[in-house]
């Protein structure tokens, strides 16, 4: 895992779903101080990062100042879906942005197995928060749009092992169990504004 705070770059086409989502985000009133927060959630390997990039590109094409924050950078390793994740994100990023101030978080180095280095988060017009747990109930008061991305478990596992290697299988299998528990408790899919499949098609 691992992605980083990103700004829009080239995307593989201005995906139709991303265009629709971008329009909905920009039509909403900010709920995190001056920032419109869009949450992209769903199980690991489902296509969240791809959707986040497409949404950021669509927003930027409309003149929005947008940044993407990947929760992979904030998890405390393979067991980091719960624990200190949300308190750190809230204190280091969300609360400063709510006050109109830049945020700053410590990034997790997956190779070293520890947090190392700080990443600044300027105040954007739109912040796309992407990752498992991005749309938990604690985020609901601040989010203007929640997108849920789903894919079959075997597809997701295959994608993950293709990226991380076969040695990561035990970690992936444990993560998949943890996220299933998390999503059941948070009712994330049920609360989503939009649902998409592994190929970015709406209405999944």
Q: Which CATH architecture has domain 16-196?
A: 3-Layer(aba) Sandwich (3.40)
Q: How far apart are CA 154 and CA 138, in angstroms?
A: 30
Name the region of 45 (left: φ>0; alpha: ψ -120 to 50; beta: rest): left
Q: Say if residue 51's pLDDT is above 90.
A: yes
Q: How confident is the model at residue 16 (pLDDT cuts 50, 70, 90)?
A: confident
Q: Say if residue 72's pLDDT is above 50.
A: yes
pLDDT above 70 covers a percentage of the chain that reads 93
Q: How confident is the model at residue 203 (pLDDT cuts 50, 70, 90)?
A: confident
Query: What is the average pLDDT score of the chain?
Result: 92
Mean pLDDT over 108-115 rounds to 94
pLDDT of residue 10: 36
Structure tokens at 162: 């293709």
pLDDT of residue 198: 78
Mean pLDDT over 21-25 rounds to 97
Q: How confident is the model at residue 132 (pLDDT cuts 50, 70, 90)?
A: very high
Distances (CA, A) of 20 to 147, 148, 200, 204: 12, 14, 12, 15
Q: Are strands 114-121 and 103-109 parallel, antiparallel or unpaired?
A: antiparallel
pLDDT of residue 4: 53
Q: How confident is the model at residue 197 (pLDDT cuts 50, 70, 90)?
A: confident
4 CB-contact burial (10 Å; exposed 0-12 / middle 13-18 / buried 19+): exposed
Mean pLDDT over 83-89 rounds to 95
Structure tokens at 40: 């992209």
Q: How confident is the model at residue 139 (pLDDT cuts 50, 70, 90)?
A: very high
pLDDT of residue 173: 96
pLDDT of residue 7: 42
Q: How confident is the model at residue 1 (pLDDT cuts 50, 70, 90)?
A: low
pLDDT of residue 11: 39
pLDDT of residue 12: 42
Return the domain boundaries, the chain.
16-196
């Amino acid at each position: 895992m691992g992605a980083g705070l990103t700004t829009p770059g080239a995307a593989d086409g201005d995906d139709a779903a991303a265009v629709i989502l971008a329009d909905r985000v920009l039509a909403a009133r900010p709920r995190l101080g001056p920032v419109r927060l869009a949450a992209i959630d769903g199980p690991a390997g489902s296509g969240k990062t791809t959707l986040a990039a497409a949404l950021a590109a669509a927003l930027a094409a409309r003149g929005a100042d947008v940044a993407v924050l990947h929760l992979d950078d904030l998890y405390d390793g393979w067991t980091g879906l719960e624990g200190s994740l949300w308190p750190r994100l809230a204190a280091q990023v969300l609360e400063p942005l709510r006050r109109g101030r830049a945020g700053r978080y410590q990034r997790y180095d997956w190779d070293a197995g520890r947090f190392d280095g700080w990443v600044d988060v300027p105040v954007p017009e739109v912040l796309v928060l992407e990752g498992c747990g991005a749309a938990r109930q604690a985020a609901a008061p601040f989010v203007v749009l929640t997108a849920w991305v789903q894919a079959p478990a075997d597809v997701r596992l295959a994608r993950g092992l293709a990226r991380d290697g076969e040695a990561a299988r035990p970690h992936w299998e444990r993560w998949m169990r943890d996220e299933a528990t998390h999503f059941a408790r948070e009712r994330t899919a049920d609360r989503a504004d939009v649902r998409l499949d592994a190929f970015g098609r709406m209405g999944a």
